[in-house]
């Protein structure tokens, strides 16, 4: 649009050069600003064409410059032609041509804006209406200031022609902008999201955004996850996003979130559709209601261990287990049904060594609050790393705090690697000793001293003193008393499944700077 406007303004500049009576000398006060506006518009066109930016603020600044500069030039030329009685053209000629010269530039500017600039109805109305008022106001002011122009405007119908022309032009431009916006929205719904209608945004995180959606035909509510627009050109981010859905889609365990559909839109955006979960994630439950009863925590973590058993059997290590990635949902009349989410950091254990660079190169993966020490020390991870994270998650559910706190991700990482683990019973004396022993074994710094499989861990949880003592009646009572599971009143809880934990990713430079600061 700025390029079209630049060429158009250049055409008017060339026209002016042919109409000027050079016997009076070059009118620099008219030609110089006009040439400056043309040059600026070409420069803006070059910047927008070669340095693509999706920053809303930069685009708004570009919009203001592209339309404000021509508008200012129109006002300046009108002022000089009429009020200054410029000798380049006769005043009588200028006065006679004034209505047409006033209307045409503003009409062109309004139509360009309405056709080319994506806008909300309110924003388009303000800008287009402002242009029309500027054109009408400038004509009115000059007509009052100059008798000859006033005669043409007020006694020969010129002013009414200007008002009607600009009003009709503004209405056409506004309606065109409104229709273009509706068509863009319809195209987004139909082309980019296929059979799914977006209802509202649920949340966003480091890799994607989650929306509450509905299948057009099945009328089934679901959660639709899109990769972030600013990461659409990041090849590694896109591969990580695809690995999440492909890994999850291979899993069929009832405690793993179910994937309904996935694919690419025509513009290359990757998306997938998962089941919509009425409930809350465990991080939210702890934040709002405090530490969990031990039997409830064991009940939920045991279900996650069962889900991981299937994943590990297929060679998939989750690597980002934390309370925010575990959902306590109601499904089919069953309460406290745990659902494991967000396989965005999965690693297949049979992958060759260089394939791991997909998620390890340049970042520290997972959440430092719940990650195993080996994930940051040597990068060697297997199913025992997930067991460590399960132990850290269970610790958090029982005590209401993570194993280690810190003011920065690096400090937390170093604590996991070197500091002595706090004992649960020092924080919550009513925790059974056998459960404390299970958690401490999960959190052992040496992977060989932990449980060697999630099945072994699950057996220990089921056979401890409080194993299998959390009942459906107890779960239903808790949800009835504390949470409204009406589908219309929930859904924002799913946002937590995509929120970044503190320090989820750290570049090597950040780690080095943090280490120097600590030393």
Same domain, 368 and 491: yes
Contact 364, 512 (CB under 8 A): no
With CA atoms as reference, report the closest residue to 416 among 400, 437, 395: 395
Query: 10 Å Cβ neighbour count for 508?
Result: 11
Q: How do 326-331 and 279-281 pair as beta strands?
A: antiparallel
> What global pTM score does this model have?
0.58
> What pLDDT sits at residue 31?
84
**Euclidean distance between CA atoms 251 and 241, whole angstroms:** 16
* pLDDT, mean of residues 355-378: 58
Domain at 442, CATH number: 1.10.510.10
Burial 171-202 (b: 16+ CB within 10 A, else e): eebbebbbebbeeeeeeeeeebbbebebeeeb
What confidence category does residue 246 fall into, taking pLDDT thresholds of 50, 70 and 90? confident
Query: 10 Å Cβ neighbour count for 36?
Result: 12
CA dist list (Å): 388 to 142, 359, 393, 422, 432: 79, 19, 9, 15, 20
Residue 358 has pLDDT above 50, yes or no: no
Same domain, 211 and 74: no
> What pLDDT sits at residue 360?
35
CA dist list (Å): 344 to 290, 339, 355: 28, 15, 15
Same domain, 380 and 497: yes
Contact 356, 374 (CB under 8 A): no
Range with the poorest average pLDDT among 134-143, 209-218, 325-334, 395-404: 134-143
52-62 pLDDT, tens digit per residue, is 655 677 778 88
Residue 122 has pLDDT above 50, yes or no: yes
Same domain, 126 and 226: no
Domain end, chosen from 273, 300, 335, is at: 273
Same domain, 140 and 59: yes
> What pLDDT sits at residue 99?
54
What confidence category does residue 316 fall into, taking pLDDT thresholds of 50, 70 and 90? confident
Domain at 222, CATH number: 3.30.200.20
* pLDDT, mean of residues 338-362: 51
Same domain, 158 and 173: yes
**Euclidean distance between CA atoms 111 and 117, whole angstroms:** 10
What confidence category does residue 21 fall into, taking pLDDT thresholds of 50, 70 and 90? low
> What pLDDT sits at residue 87?
42
Same domain, 79 and 130: yes
Burial of 343 (0-12, 13-18, 19+ CB in 10 A): buried
Contact 406, 387 (CB under 8 A): no
Q: Please list the alpha-helical segments (H only) found in 400-447.
A: 409-418, 424-427, 433-442
Range with the poorest average pLDDT among 89-103, 121-135, 411-425: 89-103
Q: For the CA atoms of the chain, what is the radius of gyration?
A: 33
What confidence category does residue 304 fall into, taking pLDDT thresholds of 50, 70 and 90? very high
122 vs 283: which has the higher pLDDT: 283
Q: Is 320 annotated as catalytic? A: yes
Residue 492 has pLDDT above 50, yes or no: no
Helix (H) or strand (E) holding 114: helix 91-116
**Euclidean distance between CA atoms 127 and 462, whole angstroms:** 66
> What pLDDT sits at residue 380?
66
Structural domain harbouring 27: 2-192
> What pLDDT sits at residue 307?
93
SS3 291: coil
Same domain, 150 and 229: no
Residue 491 has pLDDT above 60, yes or no: no
Give the rounded distance of the alpha carbon of 141 from its chain centre.
Answer: 47
> What pLDDT sits at residue 164?
83
Same domain, 319 and 231: no
Contact 279, 255 (CB under 8 A): no
Domain end, chosen from 192, 213, 248, is at: 192
> What pLDDT sits at residue 506?
46
454-475 pLDDT, tens digit per residue, is 999 999 999 998 988 999 999 9
Residue 138 has pLDDT above 70, yes or no: yes
Domain end, chosen from 160, 192, 224, is at: 192
Contact 308, 383 (CB under 8 A): yes
Same domain, 224 and 290: no
398 vs 89: which has the higher pLDDT: 398
Residue 321 has pLDDT above 70, yes or no: yes
189-215 pLDDT, tens digit per residue, is 555 577 888 888 887 766 667 888 888
**Euclidean distance between CA atoms 170 and 153, whole angstroms:** 20
Residue 509 has pLDDT above 60, yes or no: no
Give the HSE-up count for residue 252: Cα atoms under 13 Å, Cβ half-sphere: 0
Q: How do 221-227 and 270-275 pair as beta strands?
A: antiparallel
Which candidate in 320, 336, 342, 493 is catalytic?
A: 320
**Euclidean distance between CA atoms 445 and 87, whole angstroms:** 89
Same domain, 13 and 155: yes
* pLDDT, mean of residues 492-511: 43
Residue 126 has pLDDT above 70, yes or no: yes
140-183 pLDDT, tens digit per residue, is 777 777 776 677 667 766 777 778 888 888 888 888 888 877 77
**Euclidean distance between CA atoms 460 and 357, whole angstroms:** 35
Mean pLDDT, all residues of the chain: 77
Helices 158-187 and 147-155 pack at an angle, to 10 degrees, of: 70
* pLDDT, mean of residues 233-250: 72
213-233 pLDDT, tens digit per residue, is 888 888 888 988 877 655 555
Q: Please list the alpha-helical segments (H only) found in 314-380.
A: 357-360, 374-377
């Amino acid at each position: 649009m700025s390029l079209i406007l630049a060429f158009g303004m250049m055409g008017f500049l060339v026209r002016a050069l042919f109409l000027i009576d050079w016997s009076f000398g070059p009118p620099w006060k008219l030609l110089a600003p006009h040439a400056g506006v043309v040059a600026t518009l070409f420069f803006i066109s070059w910047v927008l064409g070669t340095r693509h930016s999706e920053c809303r603020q930069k685009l708004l600044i570009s919009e203001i410059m592209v339309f404000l500069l021509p508008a200012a030039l129109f006002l300046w030329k009108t002022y000089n032609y009429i009020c200054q009685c410029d000798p380049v053209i006769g005043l009588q000629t200028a006065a006679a041509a004034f209505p047409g010269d006033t209307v045409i530039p503003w009409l062109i500017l309004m139509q360009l804006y309405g056709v080319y600039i994506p806008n909300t109805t309110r924003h388009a109305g303000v800008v287009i209406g402002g242009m029309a008022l500027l054109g009408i106001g400038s004509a009115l002011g000059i007509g009052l200031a100059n008798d000859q122009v006033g005669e043409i405007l007020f006694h020969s119908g010129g002013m009414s022609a200007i008002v009607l022309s600009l009003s009709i032009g503004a209405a056409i431009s506004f309606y065109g902008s409104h229709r273009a916006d509706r068509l863009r929205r319809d195209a987004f719904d139909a082309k980019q999201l296929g059979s799914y209608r977006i209802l509202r945004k649920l949340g966003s995180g480091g890799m994607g955004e989650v929306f509450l959606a509905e299948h057009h035909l099945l009328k089934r509510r679901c959660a639709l996850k899109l990769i972030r627009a600013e990461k659409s050109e990041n090849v590694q981010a896109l591969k990580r996003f695809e690995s999440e859905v492909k890994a999850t889609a291979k899993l069929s365990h009832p405690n793993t979130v179910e994937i309904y559909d996935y694919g690419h839109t025509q513009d290359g955006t990757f998306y997938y559709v998962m089941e919509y979960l009425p409930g809350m994630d465990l991080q939210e439950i702890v934040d709002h209601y405090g530490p969990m009863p031990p039997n409830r925590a064991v009940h939920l973590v045991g279900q996650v261990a069962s889900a991981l058993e299937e994943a590990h059997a297929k060679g998939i290590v989750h690597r980002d287990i934390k309370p925010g990635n575990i959902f306590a949902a109601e499904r089919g009349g069953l309460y406290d049904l745990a659902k494991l989410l967000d396989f965005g950091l999965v690693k297949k254990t049979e992958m060759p060594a260089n394939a791991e660079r997909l998620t390890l190169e340049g970042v520290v993966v997972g959440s430092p609050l719940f990650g195993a020490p080996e994930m940051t020390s040597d990068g060697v991870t297997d199913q025992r790393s997930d067991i460590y994270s399960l132990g850290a998650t269970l610790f958090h559910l029982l005590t209401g705090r993570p194993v280690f706190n810190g003011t920065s991700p690096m400090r937390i990482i170093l604590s996991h690697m070197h500091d002595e683990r706090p004992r649960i019973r020092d924080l919550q004396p009513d925790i059974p000793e056998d459960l404390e022993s299970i958690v401490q074994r999960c959190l052992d710094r040496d992977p060989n001293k932990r449980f060697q499989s999630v099945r072994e861990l699950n057996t220990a949880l089921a056979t401890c003193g409080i194993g299998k003592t959390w009942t459906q009646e107890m779960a239903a009572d808790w949800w009835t008393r504390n949470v409204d599971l009406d589908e219309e009143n929930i859904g924002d809880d799913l946002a937590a499944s995509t929120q970044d934990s503190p320090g989820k990713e750290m570049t090597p430079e950040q780690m080095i700077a943090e280490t120097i600061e600590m030393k």
